[in-house]
Chain A
C-alpha cells in the first residue's frame, strides 16, 4: 500500500529498549483504590454508591451523565471508604471527585452482562455495550469510544484505522499488548469494524516494533478485511489526523473530525478493551502501563487496576535507581508533570516516567526567539508557532486564533526543536485556557442578564398582580357601598312614603 508523507514532525530518540522486552506483569492488589469520576472527556460520572457500601469487582459505581460521558466501575471488590475530593492526575495538582475503595482481597466479581455475539448482534447493541463498559480512548485522549462507534450513523465511513503507532518515546505498553494479545486485539478490531459498518480496516504500526508487526500479521492473516501496515517511525505518527493522512493521503479539515473524510481511528488498547467488554462482559477496570525512565531500577510493563496510586507502581519496580529529575504521566512529548506520587492511575494513563540524565535537563534557560523558523518546519499541522507565541506573549489572543491556535494538537514538536528553549507548548496551552476562561465569563454574563431580566419581569408581574388585586378590592368595596347606599335610600323612601 502506498503511504503518503506528512509535513513536519521530529525524530526523538526512542528509548523503548528500556522496557520493550519486559512481559506484561500483574501488579499486586493495592489496599486502597482511588477511582476518579472524571477519567474521560465530557461530563463527569455521577457516583451511585455511598460510604460504607460493599462493592464487587466490575460493579458500576458511577453512571454516565449526558451524551458524552462514561460510567466508572469498581476495579476490585471491597468497601467504599471515601467519597470526596482526592488528588487528581492533573498538572494543576488540584483534587477532583473520587471514590475510594478499601479492597478486601477476595476479588469477588459482580454479575457481568452476558457475552454478545458480535457478528449477529445489532451494531447499536455493540456500541451500547461499549458505552456501558466505560470504554474510552486509551491512547491518552480518553474520548468515550461508544460515541466514536456511533459515528457511522452521521457520517459516510469507509475505513477503520487502528492506531498501534505508539510514537511517544519510552512507551511500550501498546507494543507489549500487540505482542501478547494479538488474537484478542484482532477480534476486538473486527467487532469495531462491524459496529461501524466499514469495508476496510487498517492496523498501523510504526516500523520500530517488528515483533508486534509479526504477531499482528499472523493474527490478522485469517481475515481478508484487516490489513497490517508498517508506517515510518516519526513523531507524531500516532496523532489520529496525521496517521489518517499518512495512510489515506487525505487531510482532516481544520477543527473537523477524521470522520469528515470517512475514517475513524481507535487505539489498539481500546480494541482490546472492546473485545473484553463485548465477548466477556468485562468493563474497563484495568490497563497496561509502562513504567520507565533512566531513574527506574527495573523498567516494566504492568497491568494495573484503575485507581492504583502511582507510588505502588514505582514501589513494585524497585524504587528509583537515581534521583529522578522529572516525573511524568504519559510520554515525554505530551505527558503531564506528575505532581504527587499518591495520585491514582486512570483509564488514559499509558506511562509513568522518571527521567534522569540529559533528556530532562531541568536547568534550561530560555533565550530570545531568533526567528530561525525551525518550529515552522517541525509543525505537523502547518502552523507558525513563533508568530503564535509572540501574539500570545502580547495577550493578543485574537491574532493567535487567526494564526490557527485552535488547530494546534499540542504535540510539542516545535518546543522540541527550538534552539532557544522557548516553552512554545505552554504558551499555546495557556492561550487555549485563557480563551476558554473568557468564553466562560461571557457565558456567565449572558446568564446573569437572563436571570436579572427574569427577576425584573417577575417583580413587575407581582407588582401588577398586587395592583390588580387592590383595584379589585376597591371596586368591590365601592360596589358594596353603592349597594348599601341604595338600600338606605330605598328604606328612606319607604319611610317617607
Chain B
C-alpha cells in the first residue's frame, strides 16, 4: 500500500513540476496573435466593423468575440485568411451577398467644402476649397465615413460596377439554377 501511495504521490509531484515549468517557459504571449491579426487587417481605421479601429477589432477577433467575417473592406479574401490563421471554419455565406461599394460624388450638389477628404482614411477623395471633389475608385474602401459628414448629401455609396476587367464566368451550378 505504501508503495502505491508513494508512487502516485511521486507521479503527481513530477507531473505538477512539469506543468508548472511548462506554464512558465511555453507561455504564449497574448499580444502576439492580436498584433498578427492587426497586421492582416486593412489598417484604415474605418470603423465599419463596429469597433473603433483595426486594433480593437483585431483584439475582438483574437478573443473570438467577433466573427472572422467582420471586415467589409477586407472582404472574402481576408475572412478566409483570418479563418485559416485562427483555425476556425468561416461562414462565408453572408459575405457572398455583399457587393463591394465605393463612394460617388454628385457633382451637382458638391459645394467644395473639403470636409469629406479630411475624413477619408485612404486619401481616396481629392479636391480643394470650392472645387468639386472626386473619388478615386481604386483607393476607396467603401467605409462610408464621407457620406455622414457631407453637408449637402452629395455623396452616395454605389455598387462597384461590373466591367470587362473584373467580370468572370459564373459557377456552372448557379447558371443551371437560373436557366
Contacts and interface: CB of A to CB of B under 8 A. Distances in A.
A119 interface: no
B164 A430 contact: no
Contacts of A444: 138
B74 interface: yes
A196 B28 CA distance: 60
Given A88-B164, A442-B77, A445-B42, A452 B121 contact: yes
Contact of B43 (A94, A438, A453): A453
A54 B107 CA distance: 32
B162 interface: yes
B76 A438 contact: yes
Interface string B73-116: 11111101000000000000000000000000000000000000
B82 to A, nearest CB: 12
B43 A96 contact: no
Interface stretch (A167-175, A311-319, A421-429): A421-429
Contacts of A455: 121-123
Contacts of A447: 138-139
Given A452-B42, A452-B44, A94 B163 contact: yes
Contacts of A438: 76-77, 80
Contact of A441 (B43, B75, B168, B176): B75
Contacts of B43: 448-449, 452-453
Interface in A86-113: 88, 90-92, 94-96
B3 to A, nearest CB: 56
Nearest to A97: B164
B4 interface: no
Contact of B73 (A91, A434, A437, A445): A445
Contact of B123 (A92, A432, A454): A454
Interface in A439-476: 440-442, 444-445, 447-449, 451-455
A442 B171 CA distance: 21
Contacts of B148: none
A433 interface: yes
**Interface residue tally of chain B, by bracket?**
20 to 34
Most B C-beta atoms less than 10 A away, residue of A94, A434, A445, A447: A445
A437 B166 contact: yes
B175 interface: yes
A433 B42 contact: no
B139 A433 contact: no
A433 B168 contact: yes
B141 interface: yes
Interface string A216-233: 000000000000000000
Contacts of A366: 172, 176
24 contacts: A92-B162, A94-B163, A366-B172, A366-B176, A392-B171, A423-B172, A427-B171, A429-B168, A430-B170, A433-B167, A438-B77, A438-B80, A441-B74, A441-B78, A442-B77, A445-B77, A447-B139, A448-B73, A448-B122, A448-B139, A449-B42, A451-B123, A451-B139, A452-B43
Interface of A: 38, 88, 90-92, 94-96, 366, 392-393, 422-423, 426-427, 429-430, 432-434, 436-438, 440-442, 444-445, 447-449, 451-455
